Amino acid sequence: MRGVGFGRMGLGGMVVLLILSLVFKQDFFSLAGSAVGSGPQAAGQANAPLQTTPQEEREVDFVSFVLDDVQSTWARIFQAQGQSWRNARLVLFRDATETACGFGESASGPFYCPGDQKVYIDLGFYEELQRRFGAPGDFAQAYVLAHEIGHHVQNLLGTDAQVRRMQQSNRGAANALSVRLELQADCYAGVWANSTASRNILESGDVEEGLGAAAAVGDDRLQKMSTGRVNPDAFTHGSSRERVDWFRRGYQSGNPADCNTFQGVG
C-alpha cells in the first residue's frame, strides 16, 4: 500500500506514547486522542516492563493508518446515507486481555467486541498469518482489520443484534447465520478496498494479498489443517471460496448495498 503513515501522528510520536503507556501502565494513546485503544499488554505481567521490537512498532504504525483510513471511509458512507458513525477503537495485546465480551486470547485470533466497540488484535497474529497460513503482505494484514471493522458496521446498523435474535429463536440455524454475518464483513472489507483503489493507494498485488488472506482463513481450510477433514455443518465463517467471492464482490462494487448475504433468509 502506498503512503502508509500514521496520519495525525508520526511513528516517533507513536513510539513515545507506546513507551509511556508501558512504563506508567496508563493508556496514553487515549489521552492523545488516538483511535488505538492501548499499547501491547501481557497477561499476568501487570508490573513487569515490556519490550517492544522494531517489527511490532512498525505494525502499530501500519494498523493505526489502516484503522483511520477504514473508519474514515465508512464515516463518509454513513454520512452520505444520513446515518451517524462512531469510531471503533483498537486494542493491541499480547497473549490475552480483558474485554467486555470476556477474556480474549491470542488463540481466538482478531475479533470485534460489540460490548465495548473495540477490535482486539494480538501482536503475534500477523506473523502467524504469514508463517502458518501462508498469507503474507501488508494488504493481507489490512484485510483482517477491515473485516473486523465490518463487524463494527454491522453493530452500528443493528445487523449483529438482529442476527443474535434469529440465532436464539432458531438454534439449528445458528452456524449458518454466523457464516452470513462473517461473509458480509468480508464484503464490507472489499468495499473499503474499492475506496483505496479509487484513491490510488493500492499497489500491484495488493488485492491478491487480500484475496489470499480471505482464502487462508476459510473454515474448510482451517478444518482440514486441524483435523484433516471438512465438515460444512460446523462452518462459522464460510469456506475459502465464499470468503474470496464476497470480498471480491465488495471490491468490485464498492457499494455496501451489494453485501446483503442474508437475502432469502426467512
Task: Give CA–CA dist 229/223, Å, rounded.
Answer: 6
Q: What is the pLDDT of residue 92?
A: 83
Per-residue pLDDT tens digits of the chain, which is 266 residues long: 554 433 333 334 444 344 434 433 344 344 333 444 444 443 333 333 345 677 667 777 878 888 999 999 999 999 999 999 999 999 888 778 889 998 777 666 788 999 999 999 887 776 665 665 454 457 777 888 999 999 999 999 999 999 999 989 998 888 889 989 999 999 999 999 999 888 887 666 666 765 666 656 555 555 555 666 656 665 566 777 888 899 999 999 999 999 999 885 54
Query: What pLDDT is recorded for position 10?
Result: 38
- Quote the pLDDT of residue 152: 97
Q: Can you give the pLDDT at residue 191?
A: 96
Report pLDDT for 6.
Answer: 32
The reported pLDDT for the residue numbered 1 is 58
Q: What is the bridge-based pairing of β-strands 89-93 and 36-38? A: parallel
Closest listed residue to residue 64, CA positions, set 88, 84, 42: 88
Residue 119 DSSP code: E
SS3 203: coil
At 91, which helix (H) or strand (E)?
Answer: strand 89-93
Query: What integer pLDDT is reported at residue 226 of this predicted model?
Result: 61
